[in-house]
């Protein structure tokens, strides 16, 4: 125990109660605690010391540190957004529409943070990028497994995109598993069917590894949902929460396109793609498509 009687657990963060916090604040006369018997609780929780060892640039140009760290920040946001989408899908499977709204709201805000990260690279002109670009070899954001998992969660499906990860068995197996389970949008469509909307059985039993295509029955369901504009219409709230996620994800793709145009123009991408042209084509894949197409009929 320390001088205030609070037990210290080595190498771990021990939960404390409100009463214990009051004891600590009283003993410190309102000042922050400066002495700890073991590792700082903050570092034990956040692993900050570990995080700050992960930036290992390949060259000497100082701009590479910005590029590398922002890429790592984006990776963390990919994982966080995917986590929230999976939480939302779990709630929808349990027919808890209200419960799905909170993780969807968080996911939309996560995507805002992800998109804001691009601002940290607005300094990068082609000459800036060229100072370290060759050192990246064939490394490309296209090879991000977590981004691919995020796309799969959103319903963007392409089995061929799993192939680059075959030499990473654990990552590859997780991607194959994610591809084989219903996406968030598949869960939404199944929910609509359970809620009594006329969704064909063939749509519910389709191969979920294949990209979903716009279906008139799903459009009709959303038209009906939006016609009931009342405070208790949780499905309408769900539609708006999903629309926010879809729009923020579309923003991510556009910000990526702009950043690539600024840094390399029409050059080929480091991962072998056509660069900006490939990014522009990827923007045509709309997330939760019937939420947009149904609006034409409202």
Q: How much is the pLDDT for 44?
A: 87
- Tell me how far apart the alpha carbons of residues 25 and 30 are, in angstroms, rounded to a whole number: 5
**Is 230 a residue whose pLDDT tops 90?**
no
Q: What average pLDDT does range 265-283 have in this prediction?
A: 78
CA 234 to chain centre: 24
Residue 140 has a CB neighbour count (10 Å cut-off) of 15
DSSP string, 111-175: HHHHHHHGGGGTT--HHHHHTTGGGGTT--GGG-HHHHHHHHHHT---GGGGGGGTTSHHHHHHH
**Mean pLDDT confidence for 241-250:** 97
Q: Read off the pLDDT of residues 184-226 as tens digits, 9 standing for 90 and up.
A: 999 999 999 999 999 999 999 999 999 999 999 999 999 999 9
What is the pLDDT at residue 2?
44
Q: How far is CA 22 from CA 8, 35, 45, 156, 248, in A?
A: 17, 17, 21, 50, 42
Enumerate the known binding-site residues for heme: 256
Average pLDDT over residues 256-266: 88
122, pLDDT greater than 60:
yes
Write the pLDDT tens digit of every residue in 63-77: 999 999 999 999 999
- Residue 22, CB-side half-sphere exposure with 13 Å CA sphere: 3
Does pLDDT of 139 surpass 70? yes
Instruction: Work out whether the CA dihedral 107, 113, 114, 115 comes out positive or negative.
Output: positive
Q: Could you tell me the two tokens for 219?
A: 């459009």
Annotated binding site: 133, 256, 270
User: Measured between alpha carbons, how far is 127 from 296 in angstroms, rounded to an integer?
Assistant: 45
b/e string for 55-78 if b means 16 or more Cβ within 10 A? eebeeebebbebbbbbeeebbebb
Confidence band, pLDDT 50/70/90 cuts, at residue 8: very low
User: Can you give the pLDDT at residue 6?
Assistant: 41
Nearest to 98 by CA among 288, 287, 233: 233
Which two structure tokens, joined as six digits, stand for 294?
Answer: 């149904």
- pLDDT for the residue numbered 1: 44
Stated pTM of the model: 0.90
CA atoms of 151 and 296, how far apart (whole Å):
26
Please tell me the distance from the alpha carbon of residue 46 to that of residue 232, in angstroms, as a whole number: 39
Say how many residues make up the chain.
298
Residue range 164-180: average pLDDT? 95
Torsion angle, alpha carbons of 164, 167, 173, 177, to 10 = 10
Instruction: Please enumerate, by residue number, every residue annotated as part of a binding site for substrate.
Output: 133, 270
pLDDT at 25 exceeding the cut of 90: no
Instruction: Say whether pLDDT at 5 is over 90.
Output: no
Q: Where do the domains of the chain lie, and which CATH numbers do they carry?
A: 1-53 (no CATH), 63-297 (1.20.58.480)
């Amino acid at each position: 125990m320390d001088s205030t009687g609070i037990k210290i657990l080595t190498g771990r963060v021990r939960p404390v109660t409100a009463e214990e916090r009051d004891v600590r604040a009283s003993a410190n006369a309102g000042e922050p605690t400066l002495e700890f018997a073991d590792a700082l609780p903050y570092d034990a929780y956040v692993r900050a010391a570990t995080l700050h060892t992960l930036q290992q640039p390949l060259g000497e140009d100082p701009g590479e540190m910005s590029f590398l760290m922002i890429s790592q920040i984006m990776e963390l946001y990919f994982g966080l957004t995917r986590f929230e989408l999976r939480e939302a899908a779990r709630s929808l499977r349990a027919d808890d529409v209200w419960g799905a709204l909170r993780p969807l709201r968080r996911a939309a805000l996560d995507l805002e943070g992800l998109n804001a990260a691009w601002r940290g690279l607005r300094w990068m002109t082609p000459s800036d990028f060229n100072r370290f670009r060759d050192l990246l070899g064939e490394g490309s954001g296209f090879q991000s497994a977590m981004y691919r998992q995020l796309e799969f969660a959103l319903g963007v499906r392409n089995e061929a995109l799993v192939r680059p990860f075959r030499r990473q068995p654990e990552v590859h197996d997780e991607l194959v598993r994610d591809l084989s389970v219903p996406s968030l949008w598949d869960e939404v469509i199944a929910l609509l069917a359970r809620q009594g909307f006329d969704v064909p059985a063939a749509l519910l039993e389709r191969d979920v590894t294949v990209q979903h295509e716009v279906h008139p029955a799903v459009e009709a369901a959303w038209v009906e949902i939006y016609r009931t504009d009342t405070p208790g219409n949780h499905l309408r709230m769900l539609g708006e929460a999903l629309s926010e996620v879809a729009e923020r994800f579309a923003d991510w793709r556009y910000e990526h396109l702009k950043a690539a145009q600024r840094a390399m123009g029409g050059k080929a991408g480091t991962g072998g793609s056509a660069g900006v042209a490939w990014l522009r084509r990827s923007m045509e894949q709309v997330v939760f498509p019937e939420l947009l197409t149904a609006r034409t009929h409202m």
